[in-house]
């Protein structure tokens, strides 16, 4: 994580500015060692705490805290970023400016990856989680990923993806698969994306049953086409207080006996808000319960069966869905922490 020479005053200014943006309660100090900026007091920036499955005490992890207790570094080049996310141990990684990467790059456990300001961009590639855990990805814009922008798989757990913007990935914006668990996707802006979110990678992946527990709340699905999410096998998947606007193919689909609760959302100009009993494409039917949603110039949400209650795992409160067309676009995405 080497970077251009910089004065101590400039380093302190940059870290303090980021801390203020995040509502930090402590003033960060920093020093530069071998060209890498570290926080002297080792205090993590305040990123808030997740609601939903990423907050649950399970699998030996009590909620999702990211890089708490570790060093804080600032990165603004490809090499610095790749070194930081591959470092063993807790770390808060502050991302400045645009960083170009390729493919999907692995992220080790116990990391907070946090964009500084409103112009931190990951371009051309994305992040992959393979048996990783306790990671926060926040305040980044992902552009032009040549595969998935965020791929959460292979038994990864306690991942919180919050306040990011997704633009033009070649495949999915976020994919969750292969027995991943305890995931929260919150306050993200899916800006005209095609395959926004896949949960469960294939109809043959029956080992995902009992896993893929995911909370999806306060996201802005803005003219995005499909998969908000498309779910196979996972239960419960909790989709609440999201704003769906002009989603051409469909909003949410529950297939292959998945269990999805669609609750307190606002659907505007969405011809097919939900698929479940009829399955979707070549995938068999899933279970879906809807309640308290608002449908404006939209079709009917297809329901089927019963779903395990997310409230058995965590507490949550619902916003009035009538407010979502105002509050979600104003608050979702990078630059809106």
pTM: 0.89
Within a 13 Å sphere around the CA of 158, how many CA atoms are in the beta-carbon half?
23
Degrees to nearest 5, angle at CA 32 with 26 and 37: 60
pLDDT at res. 26: 33
| Centroid of chain to Cα 57 | 19
Q: Residue 211 is part of a domain; what is its CATH number?
A: 2.160.20.10
pLDDT at res. 62: 97
Cα–Cα distance, 154 to 190 (Å, whole number): 24
Is 230 marked active-site? no
What are 55's two structure tokens? 């907050």
Question: What average pLDDT values come out for the chain (337 residues) when binned by 10 residues?
Answer: 36 34 36 43 62 98 97 97 98 98 97 97 98 98 97 97 97 97 98 97 96 98 98 98 98 98 98 98 98 98 98 98 98 95
Residue 325 lies in a domain: yes
Q: Are 71 and 91 in contact (CB under 8 A)?
A: yes
Q: Write phi, then psi, for 96 (nearest 5 degrees).
A: -115, 135
SS (H, E, C) the chain: CCCCCCCHHHHHHHHHHHHHHCCCCCCCCEEEECCEEEECCCCCCCCCCCCCHHHCEECCEECCCCCCCCEEEEECCHHHHHHHHCCCCCEEEEECCEEEEEEEEECCCCEEEEECCCCCEEEEEEEEEECCEEEEEECCEEECCCCCCEEEECCCEEEEEECCEEECCCCEEEEECCCCEEEEEECCEEECCCEEEEECCCCCCHHHCCCCCEEEECCEEECCCECCCEEECCCCEEEECCEEECCCCCCEEEECCCEEEEECCEEECCCCCEECCCCECCECECEEEEECCEEECCCCECCECCCCCHHHCCCCCCCCHHHHHHHHHHHCCCCCC
pLDDT at res. 48: 87
pLDDT at res. 47: 73
Residue 229 lies in a domain: yes
For residue 73, the enclosing domain spans 41-331
Residue 248 lies in a domain: yes
Going by C-alpha positions, the residue among 136, 48, 124 that lies closest to residue 92 is 136
Q: Are 63 and 49 in contact (CB under 8 A)?
A: yes
Cα–Cα distance, 236 to 249 (Å, whole number): 23
Residue of 108, 227, 232, 287 marked catalytic: 227
Going by C-alpha positions, the residue among 298, 304, 245 that lies closest to residue 278 is 304
Q: Write phi, then psi, for 113 (nearest 5 degrees).
A: -110, 110
Pairing verdict, β 133-138 and 150-153? unpaired
Burial class (CB in 10 A: 0-12, 13-18, 19+), 23: exposed
Residue 34 lies in a domain: no
Task: Answer whether the bond into residue 140 is a cis peptide, omega within 30°.
Answer: no
Q: Write out pLDDT tens, residues 140-175.
A: 999 999 999 999 999 999 999 999 999 999 999 999
Quote the number of domains for the chain: 1
Task: Answer whether the bond into residue 236 is a cis peptide, omega within 30°.
Answer: yes
């Amino acid at each position: 994580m080497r970077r251009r020479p910089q004065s101590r005053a400039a380093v302190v200014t940059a870290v303090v500015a980021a801390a203020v943006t995040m509502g930090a309660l402590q003033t960060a100090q920093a020093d530069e060692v071998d060209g890498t900026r570290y926080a002297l007091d080792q205090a993590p920036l305040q990123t808030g705490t997740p609601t939903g499955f990423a907050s649950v005490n399970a699998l030996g992890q009590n909620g999702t805290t990211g890089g708490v207790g570790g060093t804080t570094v600032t990165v603004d080049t490809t090499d610095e970023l790749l070194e930081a996310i591959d470092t063993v141990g807790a770390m808060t990684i502050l991302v400045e400016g645009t960083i170009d990467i390729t493919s999907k790059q692995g992220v080790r456990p116990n990391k907070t990856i946090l964009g500084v300001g409103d112009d931190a961009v990951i371009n051309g590639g994305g992040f992959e989680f393979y048996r990783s855990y306790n990671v926060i990805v926040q305040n980044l814009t992902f552009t032009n990923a040549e595969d998935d922008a965020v791929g959460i798989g292979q038994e990864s757990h306690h991942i919180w993806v919050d306040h990011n913007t997704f633009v033009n990935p070649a495949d999915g914006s976020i994919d969750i698969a292969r027995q991943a668990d305890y995931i929260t996707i919150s306050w993200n802006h899916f800006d005209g994306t095609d395959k926004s979110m896949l949960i469960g990678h294939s109809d043959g992946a029956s080992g995902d049953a009992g896993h893929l527990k995911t909370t999806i709340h306060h996201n802005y699905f803005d003219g995005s086409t499909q998969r908000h999410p498309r779910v196979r096998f996972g239960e419960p998947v909790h989709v609440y207080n999201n704003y769906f606007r002009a989603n051409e193919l469909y909003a949410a689909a529950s297939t292959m006996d998945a269990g999805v609760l669609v609750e307190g959302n606002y659907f505007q100009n969405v011809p097919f808000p939900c698929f479940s009993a009829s399955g979707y494409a070549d995938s068999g039917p899933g279970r879906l319960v809807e309640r308290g949603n608002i449908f404006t110039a939209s079709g009917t949400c297809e329901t089927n069966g019963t779903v395990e209650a997310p409230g058995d795992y965590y507490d949550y409160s619902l916003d009035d869905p009538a407010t979502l067309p105002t509050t979600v676009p104003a608050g979702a995405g990078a630059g809106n922490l």
